[in-house]
């Protein structure tokens, strides 16, 4: 095989893989109509387990209820975002929900739903302390959205030692 043929094959393969990855991301949007899609919910459920460890209830059933409520509050939060921010978050979630994107961006080989809390935390810390600004920004978005949505519930304020708003 000639070098030119080999280079052409490499370029063609890269184009096909890029287009296939982009199409997969478009088909599995992270947000639909301003709310989390099923894949987006899976990502944020796992991120919630990782970020909020120690803040979530210990009982398994109560923990699932708290995570479901968290996802509902994330839906409220995302619905209030401007369209361009919703689009960016949807793209991030679509990328993280796909196996190649999850591995490349988060360094997590297992599906979010199958990963342990320790594995999710390790993936998040890898993003947080990455040399790549994109990974750091993705971590910041996931962390801040999760924490903000969780701690807006007045039932969680006591964990922070916050007595609630003072009457003036």
**Where does the pLDDT of residue 159 fall: very low under 50, low under 70, confident under 90, or very high at 90 and above?**
confident
What is the per-residue pLDDT across 80-107, written as a single tens digit (0 to 9) for each?
999 999 999 999 999 999 999 999 999 9
pLDDT for 10: 65
User: How far apart (Å, rounded) are the C-alpha atoms in residues 6 and 158?
Assistant: 63
pTM: 0.81
- Which carries the bigger pLDDT value, residue 155 or residue 136? 136
CA–CA dist 37, 32 (Å, integer): 6
Tokens 């968290």 belong to which residue? 70
Question: What pLDDT shows up at residue 25?
Answer: 47
- Neighbour-count burial of 107, counting CB atoms closer than 10 A to its CB (0-12 exposed, 13-18 middle, 19+ buried): middle
Q: Between these two residues, 51 and 34, which has the higher pLDDT value?
A: 51
φ/ψ of residue 44, rounded to 5? -70, -30
Inter-helix orientation angle 60-79/133-151, to 10°: 110
Q: What is the mean pLDDT of the chain?
A: 88
pLDDT in tens, 109-121: 999 999 999 999 9
pLDDT tens digits for range 2-18: 766 666 656 656 655 66
């Amino acid at each position: 095989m000639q070098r030119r043929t080999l280079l052409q094959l490499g370029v063609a393969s890269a184009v096909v893989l890029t287009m296939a990855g982009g199409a997969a991301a478009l088909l599995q949007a992270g947000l639909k109509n301003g709310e989390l899609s099923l894949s987006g919910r899976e990502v944020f459920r796992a991120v919630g387990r990782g970020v909020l460890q120690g803040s979530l209830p210990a009982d398994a059933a109560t923990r699932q209820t708290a995570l479901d409520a968290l996802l509902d509050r994330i839906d409220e939060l995302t619905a209030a975002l401007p369209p361009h921010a919703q689009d960016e978050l949807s793209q991030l979630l679509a990328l993280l929900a796909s196996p190649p994107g999850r591995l490349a961006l988060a360094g997590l080989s297992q599906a979010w739903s199958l990963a342990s809390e320790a594995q999710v935390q390790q993936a998040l810390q890898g993003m947080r302390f990455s040399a790549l600004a994109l990974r750091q920004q993705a971590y910041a978005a996931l962390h801040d959205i999760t924490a903000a949505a969780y701690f807006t519930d007045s039932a969680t304020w006591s964990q922070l030692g916050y007595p609630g708003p003072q009457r003036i």
